[in-house]
Structure 1
Amino acid sequence: MKKTVLLLTSVFVLMLGLVGCSSSDKGSDVNVEMRTVTDVKGEVEIPVNPKRIVDISGASDILSILGYDVIGTANSDGYDYTKFPTYLEDVLGDAQILGYSMLAEMDVEAIIALEPDLIVISTVQEKMYDQLSKIAPVVMVEMKQVDWKEDFMHVAKVFGKEEAATAWINDYLAKAEEVGNQIKATYGEDSSYLSFLASAGSLFIFDQAGIGSILYNDMGLAKPAGMPQQENISLPVVSLEGLAEIDADYIFAIGTDEDLATLKASSIWNGTKAVKEGNVVTLPASPYFNQGYSPIGRLVFVEEVQNLLASMHE
């Protein structure tokens, strides 16, 4: 009887060991075809056709445009890290949110649980590199968040997808220019546009970033006089008095309900030309704060901006 029990116990332990090996080896097929790419840190071998990509760099939208699906992402909403911004819900809705791309650390256990065959991180998460490299091949990209086209092409170059990226960017810019021309025809060739974020009592002006760069660089709309210029990733900050000195014909005011309510209660705000003429579009901070930093977000804004302007006088 004892021999039988010992035999059964041994078989059970062996089975557990085999299951454990099977589980830990899942996704690490020795026959997977690999290729060498060059990222920020140098050369790295990655699968030719990765099937289980975890991206915490903030490039998930770019990867989707380039033909890759992600199972884990950090392209979450800037005001609520537990959800997707609305413009990425259809694109990334099946992926698990692991955090926010501007954070230096993510939940490693959650990444392991997804059993990735490729992990994409940015230089922001560099201190996680060694730890994540033990899970799967890691590609590190640099997302500067200053020029969206530069970030787009950087990611595309790492993955050898420059041609697809260039085609998408050119199509988008052609559409943005077309919509810009339609807006000029409707609201005046020389009409100027301002977009800003009201947040925690401060007013952040979008010039060369976010929605501002869509209006000026992509759509070719005029900047108002008195604009503070953006010199780096940080948005210029102005007071209410400084905002009133910006001579905009049309304004996109972005903010939380609380911040927008405070703004609307200000006599200085209510005394500006655009407000007095009813030429203001108010938009929620989520998703519009982040939207201009995403290629897909930019396209969605271009597609909706005419309706937004038309809603001013409804």
Structure 2
Amino acid sequence: MKKWSLLTLVFAVLFVLGACNSKDSSKDKGNSNSGSKETIAVTNDFGVQNEDGSSDSVKDKVDVPKNPKKVVVFDMGFLDTLDTLGVKVAGIPQDSIPGYLKKYEGSDYENVGSLKEPDFEKLASLNPDVIFISGRQASLYKEFSKIAPTVYVGLDTSRYMESFKENTELAGKIFGKEDQVKTELASVDETIAKVQGETKGLDKKSLIILGSEGKISAYGPASRFGLIHDVFGFKPVDKGIEVSTHGQNVSYEYVLEKNPDIIFVVDRDAVVTEGASAKKDIENDIVKKTKAYKDGKMIYLNPEVWYLSGGGIQSVKEMVKEVEKAL
């Protein structure tokens, strides 16, 4: 009987200890700082342009882990923002990184393909916690989603600043940088307000053109570079320019006909081909007759900032500085 009593006592003690451990474990599961991952619900809502000219829409809710460790970014503007906030990135497409973010070309970061041709095999082996994409990868959203929670951070240029701020605030929320984001956005607003004060009474009209392989396209309000008109306050020389990602194809005769006081130029050749430039093609005998050229108001914008990484904290601040040249 004594032996059985001793065994009974031992089993009872073990049972109590096991119950305590079970309670502790259940407490741990409810604690986001001790094992379980807190998530943030994000709604992706964007359009996809198909090769045949048709379009589709994507609306999908995803749960993104708070403070994800392995981060992959396919949007250079969002990379700019994460860099400003001090967020570590694991993988990026290293074929189109702007010069001021050159450190991401190093071997410390995984090369996950190109902006339009992601390396899905490399992505899968990297096993990221989250992937951020934009317009150039929109049609591949389902493929990305099979690998990790995927968030669309492409800019809505028809509401540039609102879209930029939403993306920046989302970054702050996901990575616990809300206070830093508030400070950065307040700084951006301050610099923009200064330019708006100077353009408010400006009686001059402007035109935005992109030069590529001898051809030019024009951009107006609500377009890819439309914040020059919509946000910074420069009056457009033509309010009827087609709103398109690739701009409205125009001739050099069109530029002379509109005869803007200021011409803002994005030199695509300079950013996609090393050593190339569209300047010689743009500054031809026709364009030289415009008021903008004669008055020294051909403003060449940094194509890395405007064409590659628009919508980042650093790039938006740089955009403000660049348009100030026209003043």
Q: TM-score, normalised by structure 2?
A: 0.65
AA of the residue aligned to 1:217: D
2:190 maps to 1:174: yes
RMSD: 3.6
Distance apart, 1:107 and its partner CA:
0.8
C-alpha change, 1:292 and 1:212, in structure 2 (3 Å) is: farther
Distance apart, 1:43 and its partner CA:
4.4
Distance apart, 1:263 and its partner CA:
2.2
Aligned equivalents of 1:279 and 1:285: distance in 2? 17
C-alpha change, 1:50 and 1:92, in structure 2 (3 Å) is: farther
Give 1:5's aligned residue.
none
Partner deviation per Cα, 1:197-229 (whole Å, 9 max, x = no partner): 11123212232334441x2222222223x3543
AA of the residue aligned to 1:98: V
SS in 1 for 2:147: helix
2:112 maps to 1:98: yes
Give 1:201's aligned residue.
214
Q: How many residues align?
A: 263
Give 1:33's aligned residue.
37
- Contact conserved, 1:177 with 1:218, CA < 8 A, in 2? no
> 2:289 is matched with which residue: 271, 274, 277?
271
2:158 maps to 1:143: no
> 2:247 is matched with which residue: 235, 258, 264?
235
- After the TM superposition, which residues 1-314 of structure 1 pair with which residues of structure 2 at under 5 Å, given as runs? 31-40=35-44, 42-57=60-75, 59-64=78-83, 68-74=87-93, 82-89=95-102, 95-101=109-115, 103=116, 105-122=117-134, 123-133=138-148, 138-141=149-152, 143-146=154-157, 147-155=159-167, 161=173, 168-182=184-198, 189-208=202-221, 209-213=223-227, 215-224=228-237, 226-255=238-267, 256=269, 257-264=276-283, 266-283=284-301, 285-306=303-324, 308-309=325-326
Larger radius of gyration: 2
- Contact conserved, 2:92 with 2:104, CA < 8 A, in 1? no
C-alpha change, 1:219 and 1:254, in structure 2 (3 Å) is: same
Partner deviation per Cα, 1:6-54 (whole Å, 9 max, x = no partner): xxxxxxxxxxxxxxxxxxxxxxxx9252324133254444332212211
Give 2:18's aligned residue.
none
C-alpha change, 1:152 and 1:282, in structure 2 (3 Å) is: closer
- Contact conserved, 2:260 with 2:292, CA < 8 A, in 1? yes
Aligned equivalents of 1:61 and 1:286: distance in 2? 12
C-alpha change, 1:45 and 1:269, in structure 2 (3 Å) is: closer
AA of the residue aligned to 2:300: T
C-alpha change, 1:99 and 1:242, in structure 2 (3 Å) is: farther
Aligned equivalents of 1:91 and 1:304: distance in 2? 24
C-alpha change, 1:292 and 1:108, in structure 2 (3 Å) is: closer
Distance apart, 1:157 and its partner CA:
6.8
Distance apart, 1:154 and its partner CA:
4.9
Aligned equivalents of 2:290 and 2:322: distance in 1? 25
Q: TM-score, normalised by structure 1?
A: 0.67
Distance apart, 1:82 and its partner CA:
1.9
Aligned equivalents of 2:231 and 2:74: distance in 1? 27
SS in 1 for 2:278: helix
SS in 1 for 2:286: helix
AA of the residue aligned to 2:71: I
Q: Which stretches in structure 1 are left out of the alignment for 5+ residues?
A: 1-29, 75-80
- Contact conserved, 2:96 with 2:308, CA < 8 A, in 1? no
